[in-house]
Amino acid sequence: MVFVTAFEPFGSSTVNGSQQAALRWAVRDPEISLVVLPVVRAQAWSAAQAALVALPEPPKLWLMLGEAGREPQTVRLEKVAINWDDYRLPDNLGEQPRDVAIVPGGPDAYFASLNVGQVALALESKTPLPVQVSLSAGSFLCNHLAYQALHAALAFPCAFVHVPAWRPEDGPEALEKLVTTLQAIKSAAL
């Protein structure tokens, strides 16, 4: 079983591409256990922890999905999570931490516990959307969740995956390309 998390919409948007892709993916893949997390600094990690504890057995893998910008149409496997919150916009409860540690006194950064370089290499030119390694999960909730997960030193690999910001006007084919790419990432990771 693979644990997948995605985020609800945030900011002025009513859609989150990570949520839409994950919902479609989970419907067709019985190995996926999906949880949509709140875009709330004080709640996302605890909601993920509660979902992990409720699983009947530990997952083989945790893929954390989050939404990146609309361009380029690339799926990014995040190699690094940093111990830093610096939100460019407020979360869904209006919190906007600036220049603060996620875990005071914690390590400055962690590398993904999944070998994202190996996964990206295995998928080179084999997916509808390019899959690349990225060295920055940002400083918003995506990075916050990734850092918390890696700081917890879980017994299974996990990595953060930034997906393009799909919107309904992009059409179902664009969403399908994203889901197919995520399925390939899962297969390569396992």
Measured between alpha carbons, how far is 13 from 16 in angstroms, rounded to an integer? 7
* Options 162, 169, 173, 176, the catalytic residue: 162
* Options 142, 158, 169, 176, the catalytic residue: 142
Measured between alpha carbons, how far is 45 from 51 in angstroms, rounded to an integer? 10
Asked about 78 being catalytic, the answer comes back as: yes
Cβ–Cβ under 8 Å, residues 153 and 47: no
Q: Rounded to an integer, what is the distance from CA 36 to the centroid of its chain?
A: 11
Asked about 158 being catalytic, the answer comes back as: no
CA dihedral over 128, 134, 140, 143, signed as positive or negative = positive
Asked about 151 being catalytic, the answer comes back as: no
CB atoms within 10 A of CB 13: 12
CB atoms within 10 A of CB 101: 14
Q: Of 37, 36, 142, whose CA–CA distance to 82 is shortest?
A: 142
Q: Please state the length of the chain.
A: 190
Tokens for 48, please give them. 């993920």
- Catalytic residue annotation: 78, 142, 162
